[in-house]
Structure 1
Amino acid sequence: MSLVKFRRRPWGNLVTPDFFNTDDFFNGGSWMNKMEEPAMNVKENDNNFEIELAAPGYDKKDFEVNIDNGCLNIAAENSSSKEEEEDNYSRKEFSYTSFQKSLRLPESIKDEEVKATYKNGVLKFKLDKKEEAKKHSPKTVEIS
């Protein structure tokens, strides 16, 4: 069993007859959240899976990663604020970004040996396969 990519429509209700549904458009409907999901690459090798998640602007401490019931759960949250006061005005800027992503892992993964690194805005995972799931070269069978 391998990881399966799930494809969602990024614009939600914007491409359906409900185009002018102002609840979805102005109140943070589901289409806005889907646009914030980070891009992800999954590569299967003979011995492991490699996952890359584009998450620029975060620090390593902003991530919470765990494996629970066969799912790799990734969450990140980052906020910042800047305040400036002068004689006749004050200015306050703030930002908040977050995302959550879950991947159902195949049973062939060694849960206890998952490795993660974060460098240059890319969160990388290496998920080793159990020995019985690794591809082996064919064996020649002699006929007697």
Structure 2
Amino acid sequence: MKTLAKVSNGHRLPGVSNWIEDWFGRELPSFSTEFLPSINKPATNIRELPDSYELEVSAPGWKKSDFEVNVDNGLLTISAEAKKEEEMSEDNYTRREFGYSSFKRTFTLPDTIDSDKVDARYEDGILYVILPKVEHARQKPVRRIDIK
């Protein structure tokens, strides 16, 4: 049973001890990093086209020179690294700020990818990685079969 404390206007409010009991008796919410956005893993879309796959990596604010894209033994690795330093002095104050950010994503390529022809471009905050299919894996146009 909760006790109420009287206030000067005659209304009753929960007492401090009840408020503390309620607060500490509650189950605290749990947070999972699975649902939190991660700076170290940019969102990536993979789209299948007739002759290739296209990866779209969302990376706004980066420069083309920040990226490195490698293909090695069936693994595609996309990484980026950026450092920023800024120093400002005025009067008797000096302000120095610096930052570092990076990410790395690795994808296992299927045998249907021609790894010698992988290409990449960066425009409007999106890194596009084109993964051409080998000839036998490309979609063939519909061929009409005559019935005899």
Which TM-score applies when normalising by structure 2? 0.70
Bigger drift between 76-85 and 134-143 goes to 134-143
Corresponding position of 1:52: 56
86, 106, 109: which one pairs with 1:82?
Answer: 86
Deviations 1:68-118 (A, max 9, x none): 111110110001111112232111111211000011111101111111101
1:102-121 to structure 2, matched below 5 A, reads: 102-121=106-125
Unmatched runs of 5 consecutive residues or more in structure 1: 1-12, 16-29
Deviation, structure 1 residue 34: 6.6
Corresponding position of 2:145: 140
Aligned-residue Cα RMSD (Å) equals 2.1
Shift in CA distance, 138/49, structure 1 to aligned 2, threshold 3 Å: same
Aligned mates of 1:141, 1:73 — CA distance in 2? 47
| 1:35 correspondence with 2:35 | no
Q: Which has the larger radius of gyration?
A: 2
DSSP 3-state at the match of 2:31: helix
Aligned mates of 2:115, 2:45 — CA distance in 1? 20
Unmatched runs of 5 consecutive residues or more in structure 2: 1-29
| 1:129 correspondence with 2:133 | yes
Give the aligned residue type for 2:64: K
Q: How many residues align?
A: 116
DSSP 3-state at the match of 1:85: strand
Corresponding position of 2:103: 99
Deviation, structure 1 residue 139: 5.5
- Give the fraction of aligned pairs with identical amino acids, expressed as a percent: 39
Which TM-score applies when normalising by structure 1? 0.72
Corresponding position of 1:14: 31
